[in-house]
């Protein structure tokens, strides 16, 4: 019985230690993803502000607004200025997927000078974003329900559609000429955390305002379908349906730091979850990431079963010894007791060999087999724990977490309005820090993907989508890079193909192939072509460049882990040689294959095929 108590204590200590370790790792993961989501939304909004500011500063806008307010111009000249403004607005609307309408107002009285599509018809002069524009700043409104019918996300005209406005001043050489107000499509806000949701079956990420109303869709709209008329945005609050109060996580929100709860609480569906909430910079909005508590702690259930099984076996053995042995077996029993105490003290290397009757020998053999089983199970648990601790701890805690503030502060330091002006050398140093931090973050993601592929735990989310739209989105992702590098990126996809596959994983593969091409094309006159073509039951993708090309002998090892075309001191490009291995693993899982065709001095073309029907 004493042996049983000792083993029980050791098992309890081991169990508590494992729980604490798991809770700490869950807290890091939740906080990291909520931070990524809030940072991505803040970055997306900053990009839209810059877009609106550039539009307000365009020469055509400034000239046209001056003409519309010039009483000396004829009606024909004013009509011509309005027509040019209309044409330019159509071009901007077609170029910017998020723009739904725009309006130019008189700065003196707020009256409308010009409108395009679904622009707000009300006088905006008393609204804070308009006042900010009058003061020479970029103004961002709250997300509110439209008062007039506008086109909703279903292509229908409707009132009470979630609306976001951005206002910017229009200055000419003589002063303020007008205020430009742009309506932003709220449903296009990109949080950039979809790839993290695939790691969890129950992962949920969404935005809320300061009153707890949804500002974006959750991952489980079917669970709240009975509570909304059209959409959850601005209709549903994060109430716990069991007590009709705002969820514990939302009530704990802090504008100065992220808040993470791993003890469990009920979410808006009434399901026990754990989560993290983080305020989105320069807004009164919050980003929430949650996981079902049952999924988060499912490893604990396995551990409980293992500990219970071990204790049960020991209890049976101890009970059997107490019940069946008598004083005549004192010495063998003492030997067995001593062996059991050795096990309870943690010594699992001592072999149990008791002499005596047939029953005693068999019992000693059973106990020794039990010792081996316990030792093996504990070694497996220790190995799992060691690998998990070393890998996830090193990557998530030591690498990833420091990267977020490095990247974030590097980006903030480049904004003169927040920190102050920096000289060119300081800016160059910051850009170098930011570039290398993002590069390290990418390498960490590649390491994680390789591990998941090897363990067959990389998750795929299959659905139907249009390939031509995917190719356009991939091109848009690299728009700033190709402009900066003065490289020509051409999408020659002509066919409209609908397939069922994992859109995110295909984008991941194409993005890596384009990144590779960007690294190896000439610094001048660099050309990259991407294309998707239907090929029987598959779709053929290719990325072609006019770089230096790859020799035949090196092509054979190109898709192996950690292989580098350039090695040692001759390397001119970064990376750990995992990107193409990840691409091959993903394409193989999608029922296709990947290969390269290249000659030295004639560039390279990477091909990959994907089945048109995956996940059925």
pLDDT in tens, 198-238: 778 888 999 999 999 999 888 877 766 566 677 888 888 99
| DSSP-assigned beta bridge partners for residue 214 | 208
Question: Is residue 427 predicted with pLDDT exceeding 90?
Answer: no
How far does Cα 233 stand from its chain's mean position? 21
- What's the pLDDT band for 347 if we cut at 50, 70, 90? confident
The least confident of 135-149, 230-244, 419-433, 461-475 is 419-433
Domains of the chain: 2-13+317-379 (no CATH), 44-144+163-182 (3.30.450.20), 463-611 (3.30.565.10)
- Report the share of the chain in percent with pLDDT over 70: 82
What is the per-residue burial (b if ≥16 Cβ within 10 Å, else e) of 94-108? eebebbbbbbbbbbe
What is the per-residue burial (b if ≥16 Cβ within 10 Å, else e) of 443-458? bbbbbbbbebbeeeeb
pTM of the model: 0.50
**Token pair in block for residue 226:** 């009975």
pLDDT in tens, 156-167: 888 889 999 999
| DSSP-assigned beta bridge partners for residue 532 | 541
pLDDT in tens, 80-95: 999 999 999 999 999 9
| Three-state secondary-structure class, residue 364 | helix
Please tell me the distance from the alpha carbon of residue 232 to that of residue 273, in angstroms, as a whole number: 20
Q: Within 10 Å of residue 231's Cβ, how many Cβ atoms?
A: 18
The pLDDT value recorded for residue 393 is 39
Question: Is residue 548 predicted with pLDDT exceeding 60?
Answer: yes
CB 374 within 8 A of CB 348: yes
**Averaged over 349-371, what is the pLDDT?**
72
The pLDDT value recorded for residue 495 is 86
Question: Is residue 612 predicted with pLDDT exceeding 50?
Answer: yes
CA distances, 392 to each of 25, 397, 437, 492 (Å): 8, 7, 19, 41
**Averaged over 471-475, what is the pLDDT?**
93
Backbone angles phi, psi at 585, to 5 degrees: -60, -40
Question: Is residue 3 predicted with pLDDT exceeding 70?
Answer: no
Question: Is residue 141 predicted with pLDDT exceeding 90?
Answer: yes
Among 83, 123, 90, smallest CA distance to 105 is for 123
**Averaged over 244-256, what is the pLDDT?**
93
């Amino acid at each position: 019985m004493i042996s049983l108590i000792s083993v029980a204590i050791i098992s309890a200590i081991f169990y508590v230690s494992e729980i604490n370790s798991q809770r700490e790792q869950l807290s890091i993961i939740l906080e990291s993803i909520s931070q990524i989501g809030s940072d991505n939304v803040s970055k997306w909004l900053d990009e839209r502000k810059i877009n609106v500011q550039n539009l307000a500063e365009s020469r055509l806008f400034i000239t046209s607004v001056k003409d519309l307010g010039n009483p000396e111009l004829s009606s024909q000249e004013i009509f011509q200025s309005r027509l040019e403004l209309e044409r330019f607005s159509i071009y901007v609307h077609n170029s910017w997927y998020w723009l739904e309408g725009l309006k130019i107002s008189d700065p003196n009285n707020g009256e409308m000078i010009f409108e395009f599509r679904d622009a707000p018809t009300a006088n905006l002069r008393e609204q804070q974003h308009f006042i900010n524009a009058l003061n020479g700043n970029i103004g961002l409104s709250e997300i509110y329900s439209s008062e007039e019918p506008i086109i909703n996300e279903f292509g229908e005209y409707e009132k009470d559609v979630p609306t976001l406005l951005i206002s910017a001043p229009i200055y000419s050489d003589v002063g303020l000429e007008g205020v430009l107000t742009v309506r932003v499509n709220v449903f296009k806000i990109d949080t950039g955390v979809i790839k993290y949701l695939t790691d969890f079956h129950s992962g949920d990420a969404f935005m809320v305002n300061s009153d707890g109303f949804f500002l974006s869709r959750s991952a489980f709209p079917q669970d709240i379908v009975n509570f909304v008329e059209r959409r959850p945005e601005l209709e549903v609050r994060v109430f716990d349906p069991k007590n009709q109060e705002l969820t514990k996580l939302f009530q704990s929100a802090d504008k100065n730091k992220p808040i993470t709860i791993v003890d469990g609480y009920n979410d808006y569906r009434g399901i026990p979850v754990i989560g993290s909430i983080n305020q989105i910079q320069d807004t009164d909005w919050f980003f929430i990431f949650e996981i079902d508590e049952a999924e988060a702690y499912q490893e604990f259930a396995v551990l409980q079963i293992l500990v219970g099984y071990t204790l049960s076996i020991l209890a049976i053995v101890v009970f059997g010894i107490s019940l069946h042995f008598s004083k005549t077996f004192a010495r063998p029993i003492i030997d067995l007791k001593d062996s059991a105490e050795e096990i309870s003290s943690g010594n699992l290397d001592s072999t149990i060999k008791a002499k005596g009757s047939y029953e005693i020998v068999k019992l000693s053999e059973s106990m020794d087999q039990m010792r081996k089983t316990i030792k093996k199970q504990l070694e497996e648990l220790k190995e799992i724990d060691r690998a998990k601790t070393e890998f996830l701890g090193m990557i998530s805690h030591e690498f990833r977490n420091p990267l977020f503030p490095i990247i974030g502060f590097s980006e903030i330091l480049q904004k003169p309005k927040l920190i102050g002006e920096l000289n060119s050398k300081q800016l160059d140093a910051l850009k170098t820090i930011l570039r290398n931090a993002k590069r390290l973050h990418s390498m960490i993601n590649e390491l994680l993907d390789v591990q998941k592929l090897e363990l067959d735990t990389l998750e795929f989310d299959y659905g139907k989508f249009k390939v031509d739209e995917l190719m356009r989105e991939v091109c848009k992702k690299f728009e700033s890079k190709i402009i900066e590098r003065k490289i020509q990126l051409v999408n020659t996809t002509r066919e409209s193909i609908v397939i069922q596959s994992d859109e995110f994983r295909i984008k991941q593969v194409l993005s890596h192939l384009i990144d590779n091409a960007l690294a190896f094309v000439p610094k001048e006159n660099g050309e990259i072509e991407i294309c998707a073509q239907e090929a029987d039951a598959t779709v053929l993708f290719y990325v072609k460049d006019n770089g230096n090309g790859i020799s035949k002998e090196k092509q054979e090892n190109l898709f192996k882990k950690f292989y580098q075309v350039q090695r040692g001191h001759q390397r001119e490009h970064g990376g750990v040689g995992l990107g193409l291995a990840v691409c091959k693993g993903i394409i193989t899982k999608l029922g296709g294959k990947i290969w390269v065709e290249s000659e030295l001095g004639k560039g390279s073309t990477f091909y990959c095929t994907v089945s048109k029907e995956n996940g059925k």
